[in-house]
Chains A and B, each alone.
Chain A
Amino acid sequence: MARSATSARGGPRERDETDAERGAEPTEGSLGPPALAIEGLTKRFGEGDDAVVAVDDVSLTVERGSVVGLLGPNGAGKTTLIKCALGIVIPDAGSVRVFGNDVRDGRRAAYADVDAMLEGARNDYWRLTVRENLRYFATISGVDPDSVAARHDRLLDRLDLADKADTPVRDLSRGMKQKVSLASVLAGGAELVFLDEPTLGLDVESARTLRAELRRLAAEEGLTIVVSSHDMTTIEAVCDRVVMLSNGRIVADDTVEALLGAAASDAVRVASPDLTPETVERLREAVEVVGVDRDARPPVVTVAAGGDRLYDLTDALRAAGVTVSDIRTVQPDLEEVFLERTGTGLGAAGPGSGGEGS
């Protein structure tokens, strides 16, 4: 059979023994090859002048058990990268290995341990019930559904779908459908899961629940998850590590903390109705004012006030006769980090936006 049981996490992974194309055998016992190893991946769509390079020489390694975010605007190459990793799109150059199996050569072995929830796709059969979908897709991904019945129950329980297990998917709300889609992707016990814009189209509450559940699943099931999104809230909430993509290239690749830390500003925002042009001028003499918003109500100044300079700021405010209505440090977010590295925001679409090559 073209599958190794996706057995025992942490135990030695048994690879496909019958696949004639069996390539490099992972080292048993040890950590083995990374969950995902992409090297020099390039994909171009179109010909000649119209050609769009969707993915441009991207190399990326994802270790087992980590949750990695692909962050970038529409058209940055996130979806193409994921589809190349799945073998749904054939790259022009470069290689993709999933748990050491080349996706192009040893597809059957590679597919045993990977699954994906693709953007905008239903991913499952709406006319079947939730549980029927789980059983069907578990089988399709190479697992005897009876052997994972307990796992399916647990999964449905965790995703708050237990009550709806025997309801046809078409009768569920949008947020629930999205969760069923996720469950069907996890049903076969894939250890590497790609989630492309998992919260797209969900209302705030459903998106928040899904994020929380993703975090929990990643921690409890030891999954390796690659989440793509243009929504930094999702990435920040779920991922340990962020890979920022812009125009098909990686512009940043680090932990969320490191990225935010590097961008950490020492700015403080002060709001007060007393911030007239005159008082702002007096402040400028004492501290480094980096921004003024007079249209805000009350007006706001942003001041560089890291470390001891915070005391200078409070002194200057007192001296200028400013009664503070609000004061807070400016928190950097991934959006700012992205802006810093690329000069464009996450909302901005790159070339080739609108789905194609995104």
Chain B
Amino acid sequence: MSGDASAGPASTAESTADGAPGDATAADAEGASGTPSAVDDEPRPATYYHLARAVLYREFLIFVRYPANAIGGIVVSLFFFAALFLGGQLLAGQALADSIEGIVVGYFLWTLSVGAYSSVSNDIGSEVQWGTLERHITTPFGFAPVALLKGVAKVVRTFLTSAVILAVMLLATGTRLSLAPLTVIVVAGLSIVSVLGLGFAAGGVTVLYKRIGNWLNLLQFGFVALISAPVFDLPWTRVLPLAHGSAMLQRVMVDGVRLWEFPLADLALLVAVAVGYLVGGYLVFQLATGRARRLGVLGDY
């Protein structure tokens, strides 16, 4: 596909103005076969499109090339669910059977949250270790768009693995849920965006205080409390990450409510919580890396 890049108006080196998708379309998997003579060796500026392509493609490559990580995560998640389900059956019997739908939905959201949170915070930790974080900070794009795109890539990846987990859970327990894709993806996606913000904050703190990073991973278990927050008895808990989204996702998947059937206020709150925590988490990350730069500990190996 990359061969097409030079077939376009390659000579208009500066014509790929800001935001324009340019002619260098699609995946660059075949870049390896490069045909030097056909390519104008005049560097063209990369647009946000190129940046998005590069970041998402890298995530994709690592995902397909190292499937063991993803499969391992799926297996561990299913193991925990099996323990929960079988143990619950022993202890609660019929009571569990009545609430199994809620548990499956909650567990699905939990795996999504843990995936989004830990991939972002661990990713930042790894990048610090590899010395690649600085290179993303000293990019002419600025760190924000790169970080956001990486976050999107992580969320997409997490959706794929959690979908597998959900499918196995449904089959194993014989549960039926409403799986309207658009509604589920929008509601679950916005729910875990708030967790993405927490991941950025934790990643930023890890840059400053490396030892704390491991402890922050324990936060993942706190997500259980957030997902099962009593939003009807204590309405204020809706502004916590995940809580409001979790309640909405239960209605979507258990009661079959569609996106457009929700009151506007519910949707607005879902978006506000997502954006609020994402922006807040990013600000914490910025403050932390700013402090790390003053202290000279950014990129201290």
Contact = CB atoms under 8 A, between A and B. Distances in A.
A73 interface: no
Interface in B15-61: 16-19, 22, 24, 28, 31-32, 34-37, 39-48, 50-51, 53-54, 57-58, 61
A121 B45 contact: no
Contacts of A136: 54, 57-58
A22 interface: no
Interface string B136-165: 111111100010000000000000000000
B55 to A, nearest CB: 8
Contacts of B13: 5, 7, 147
B140 A109 contact: yes
Contact of B54 (A16, A139, A147, A189): A139
A114 interface: yes
A8 B42 contact: yes
Contacts of B137: 88
Contact residues on A (Cβ < 8 Å of other chain), bracket: 35 or more
B139 A111 contact: yes
Nearest to B6: A146
B182 interface: no
Contact residues on B (Cβ < 8 Å of other chain), bracket: 35 or more
B62 A127 contact: yes
Contact of A7 (B2, B10, B42, B141): B42
B130 A3 contact: no
B94 interface: no
B42 A152 contact: no
A249 interface: no
Given A87-B293, A89-B298, A127-B65, A145 B130 contact: no
B58 A125 contact: yes
Contacts of A126: 130
A115 B6 CA distance: 27
Nearest to B10: A147
A142 B130 contact: no
Given A1-B45, A140-B141, A122 B50 contact: no
B268 interface: no
Given A111-B140, A123-B135, A131 B32 contact: yes
B45 A4 contact: yes
B43 A189 contact: yes
A136 B57 CA distance: 9
A108 B19 CA distance: 17
A146 B47 CA distance: 12
A7 B32 CA distance: 23
A145 B50 contact: yes
Given A5-B42, A90-B294, A121-B299, A139 B50 contact: yes
A39 B301 CA distance: 28
A144 B45 contact: yes
Contacts of B266: none
A227 interface: no
A43 B295 CA distance: 10
Nearest to B25: A146
B173 interface: no
A122 B130 contact: yes
Interface in A331-358: 355-357
Contact of A135 (B51, B54, B290): B54
Contacts of A2: 140-142
A151 B51 contact: no
A137 interface: yes
Interface string B106-122: 00000000000000000
B8 to A, nearest CB: 10
Interface string A104-120: 00011101101110111
Given A87-B138, A127-B65, A139-B50, A120 B301 contact: yes
A148 B24 CA distance: 12
Contact of A118 (B134, B294, B296): B134
Contacts of A146: 2, 5-6, 24, 28, 31, 39, 44
Contacts of B142: 2, 107-108
Given A121-B132, A147-B43, 20 more contacts: A1-B45, A3-B46, A3-B140, A7-B42, A88-B138, A89-B293, A89-B296, A90-B294, A115-B138, A118-B299, A119-B301, A121-B299, A127-B65, A144-B44, A145-B50, A147-B39, A149-B2, A153-B36, A165-B32, A355-B301
